[in-house]
Amino acid sequence: MKMHLDCANCFLNQAIRTGRLLGCSDRCLWQMVKGCGQVLSQVNEDLPPPQNAVALYDMIAEKAGIRDPFYKLKKESTRHALGLYPELKRKIKDHMDALEAALRFAACGNVIDYGVSSDFNLLKEVEKALGTRFSVWEYNAFLKRLSKAGWILYLGDNCGETVFDRLLIEELKKPVKYAVRGGPIINDVTEEDARDAGLHEVAEIVSTGYRAPGIVLKECSDSFRELFASAPMIISKGQGNFETLSDENREIFFIFKIKCNVVSSFLDLPLNTMFLGRTKAQAG
Amino acid sequence: MKMHLDCANCFLNQAIRTGRLLGCSDRCLWQMVKGCGQVLSQVNEDLPPPQNAVALYDMIAEKAGIRDPFYKLKKESTRHALGLYPELKRKIKDHMDALEAALRFAACGNVIDYGVSSDFNLLKEVEKALGTRFSVWEYNAFLKRLSKAGWILYLGDNCGETVFDRLLIEELKKPVKYAVRGGPIINDVTEEDARDAGLHEVAEIVSTGYRAPGIVLKECSDSFRELFASAPMIISKGQGNFETLSDENREIFFIFKIKCNVVSSFLDLPLNTMFLGRTKAQAG
């Protein structure tokens, strides 16, 4: 999907919010606004938002003087989520349909605020997230494809969420290649972050070869594009990956929360609901 | 008052809204967004929003290819408001305190949507606006200053609102100099617009000598600055004039509706309420 006019305001909000997260002074926040203005002046409205966001987060890193501004936050998110692993593993094992439970937890992983301090608070966040309604739930189609697939390409999203991905991968009972960003961008998962979450123990970690908060195929490495083309099943996590892959001409099972009005309008589905399934065009 | 970080988003919204008003295509709206990005990249956060808005509206006029994009809208607003003049004049005359009634109408003039078609609809808009609560109502101080003032400098704001200014000026019973923008900017009143509203019949029309949607004194002509310094009483209409004059070190009676959160926070007064009076610092 292309940029929407509303994405311009969202870019500004992201620049200011990230600046605040990094403890920027008011003067520095204005540098973020001016830098975002520069990015918007050169935006390509025909590209998906995550592709334009690369210039935005490069600008933020430059103004903040930090190559990977989310490094510490990513480490903490992973550590917090790992604290939940044993409890979530038990809940999945105890469920009458372990795969369904793991899928629901994986969707939750896209929603949780890992900034909250204690494991107890995080568990409450998970329980709250479990109550979120799915506006699309193509579980049967998912099962059918899974049963036929020799292996799965799993497209990662954020840190912390990675631990929930690991729990799902453990229930898929198939070989999995787990795709990570080609370099640090926002709090998205890199190879180092995936290893922190123990994903190398349950999957082969592969890089997209490109550092965008989404999968921009034409910028990815040849080897990743070959994986993408040949994968018998693709599971894609998060809204960023959806935004960049929504127009692809192949079946992809997206798992994400509809977090903004632009995507909600694009799908004609309610804001703040969960999505497990394919786009109508991709489902055929 | 200086720019607030929230003003950046507001600039973007203004660019898009104005583009839509001018019937821009989606491609043209993106030109507005990119142009606004360019303006934001060079914004001076230490200046008031209306001063930074000059570059914004210059950009909009350039992208739209129209020197005065609001020309037709201004003419229509004035014409619609003039249609109300006889009825409002009668209401003021019939009121037990004609000046108070004229002041309330003048505040309403800052609120009305002159786009609505019939005189009947406009009268309903006025009645609705009359119900808006004043969070500041310094009527006694206003009367006291008025009784002592040999003449009044009245700072105009928008077209249409001008007709309500005329009704108030007719009740002031003092010589009035009515200040207009030095050139077209948004729907603000210029000399031509003031004449359209008949203001030349009740006041001397003077130009600020600068084309901003507010009074930026250091950019105004010497003759206007002398008027401003020597005026025994100043009445200032609209939020734009307030934003540029809120830190001036002299008494000014502001009449406007608090239309945004930035001004609401600055004044610590509720959004969408009316203001008639001086700032605390200016009241001494």
In angstroms, what separates the C-alpha of A185 from chain B's closest C-alpha? 22
Substitution target in A17, A40, A47 with the highest count of B β-carbons within 10 Å is A40
Q: What is the pLDDT of residues A34-78, one digit of tens each?
A: 999 999 999 999 999 999 999 999 999 999 998 899 999 999 999
Whether A214 and A80 share a structural domain: yes
Q: What is the pLDDT of residues A18-28, one digit of tens each?
A: 999 889 999 99
Distance CA B250, CA B173 (A): 23
In angstroms, what separates the C-alpha of B5 from chain A's closest C-alpha? 7
* Mean per-residue pLDDT, A138-152: 98
Whether B87 and B165 share a structural domain: yes
Whether A57 and A99 share a structural domain: no
| Residues ≥6 apart with Cβ < 8 Å to B119 | B80, B83, B84, B87
The residue type found at A134 is F
Q: What band does B115 get if pLDDT is binned at 50, 70 and 90? A: low
* Mean per-residue pLDDT, A201-219: 97
Side by side, the strands of the sheet bearing B204-207 are B134-137, B274-277, B253-257, B234-237, B152-155, B176-180, B204-207
In angstroms, what separates the C-alpha of A4 from chain B's closest C-alpha? 9
The answer to whether the CB atoms of B37 and A8 lie below 8 A apart is: yes
- Whether residue B196 is predicted with pLDDT greater than 80 in this model: the reply is yes
The answer to whether the CB atoms of B16 and A5 lie below 8 A apart is: yes
Mean pLDDT of chain B: 94
Q: What band does A222 get if pLDDT is binned at 50, 70 and 90? A: very high
pLDDT at B127: 85
- Whether residue B284 is predicted with pLDDT greater than 90 in this model: the reply is no
Whether B52 and B97 share a structural domain: no
Q: What is the pLDDT of residues A180-196, one digit of tens each?
A: 999 999 999 999 999 99
Distance CA B44, CA B46 (A): 5
Count how many domains chain A has: 2
In angstroms, what separates the C-alpha of B48 from chain A's closest C-alpha? 14
* Mean per-residue pLDDT, B167-174: 98
In angstroms, what separates the C-alpha of B52 from chain A's closest C-alpha? 13
In angstroms, what separates the C-alpha of A66 from chain B's closest C-alpha? 21
pLDDT at A115: 64
Whether B76 and B185 share a structural domain: yes
Whether A115 and A165 share a structural domain: yes
Measured between CA atoms, the residue of chain B closest to residue A41 is B34
- What was the ipTM of the complex prediction? 0.90
The answer to whether the CB atoms of B34 and A13 lie below 8 A apart is: no
pLDDT at A214: 97
Q: Considering only CB atoms, which chain A residues are within 8 Å of B46?
A: none
In angstroms, what separates the C-alpha of B76 from chain A's closest C-alpha? 29
Whether A259 and A159 share a structural domain: yes
- Say if CB A250 and CB A113 are below 8 A apart: no
The answer to whether the CB atoms of B43 and A36 lie below 8 A apart is: no
Measured between CA atoms, the residue of chain B closest to residue A43 is B34
pLDDT at A126: 86
Q: Considering only CB atoms, which chain A residues are within 8 Å of B39?
A: 37
Token pair for residue A68? 């990977």
- Whether residue A209 is predicted with pLDDT greater than 80 in this model: the reply is yes
Q: Considering only CB atoms, which chain A residues are within 8 Å of B37?
A: 8, 36-43
Whether A275 and A157 share a structural domain: yes
Backbone angles phi, psi at B210, to 5 degrees: -140, 145
Other C-beta atoms closer than 10 Å to the C-beta of A176 total: 23
pLDDT at A225: 98
Domain termination site, one of B13, B34, B64: B64
Q: What is the pLDDT of residues B29-71, one digit of tens each?
A: 999 999 999 999 999 999 999 999 999 999 999 999 988 999 9
Measured between CA atoms, the residue of chain B closest to residue A4 is B30
* Whole-prediction pTM: 0.91
How, if at all, do strands B253-257 and A152-155 pair? unpaired
Q: CA dist B95 to A93, A184, B106, B133, B231, Å?
A: 79, 69, 15, 19, 29
Q: Which residues of B197-207 are buried (b: 16+ CB within 10 A; e: fewer)?
A: bebeebbebbb
pLDDT at B67: 87
Domain termination site, one of A46, A64, A82: A64
In angstroms, what separates the C-alpha of B177 from chain A's closest C-alpha? 39
| Residues ≥6 apart with Cβ < 8 Å to B201 | none
Show the domain range for B9. 5-64
The answer to whether the CB atoms of A34 and B13 lie below 8 A apart is: no
- Whether residue B191 is predicted with pLDDT greater than 70 in this model: the reply is yes
The answer to whether the CB atoms of A5 and B33 lie below 8 A apart is: yes
Q: Considering only CB atoms, which chain A residues are within 8 Å of B35?
A: 41
Residues 10-39, chain B: which have Cβ within 8 Å of A?
A: 12-13, 16, 26, 29-30, 33-39
- Say if CB A213 and CB A186 are below 8 A apart: yes
- Whether residue A116 is predicted with pLDDT greater than 70 in this model: the reply is no
The answer to whether the CB atoms of A40 and B34 lie below 8 A apart is: yes
Q: What is the pLDDT of residues B124-166, one digit of tens each?
A: 888 888 888 999 999 999 999 999 999 999 999 999 999 999 9
Q: Considering only CB atoms, which chain B residues are within 8 Å of A35?
A: 41
* Mean per-residue pLDDT, A76-103: 94
Distance CA A127, CA A145 (A): 29
Q: Considering only CB atoms, which chain A residues are within 8 Å of B33?
A: 5, 8, 40, 43, 45
Whether A120 and A220 share a structural domain: yes
Domain termination site, one of B14, B37, B64: B64
- Say if CB B1 and CB B48 are below 8 A apart: yes
Q: What band does B111 get if pLDDT is binned at 50, 70 and 90? A: confident
pLDDT at A128: 83
Whether A126 and A210 share a structural domain: yes
Closest residue by Cα to residue A255 from A163, A194, A165? A165
Which one of A29, A35, A42 has the shortest CB-CB distance to B5?
Answer: A29
Q: If you count residue pairs, one on A and one on B, with CB atoms under 8 Å apart, how many are there?
A: 68
| Residue A42 contacts B, CB cutoff 8 Å | yes
pLDDT at B131: 84
Q: Considering only CB atoms, which chain A residues are within 8 Å of B4?
A: none
Whether A52 and A84 share a structural domain: no
Environment class of A72 (CB within 10 Å of its CB; exposed 0-12, middle 13-18, buried 19+): exposed
Whether A125 and A164 share a structural domain: yes
The answer to whether the CB atoms of A5 and B36 lie below 8 A apart is: no
* Mean per-residue pLDDT, A117-140: 85
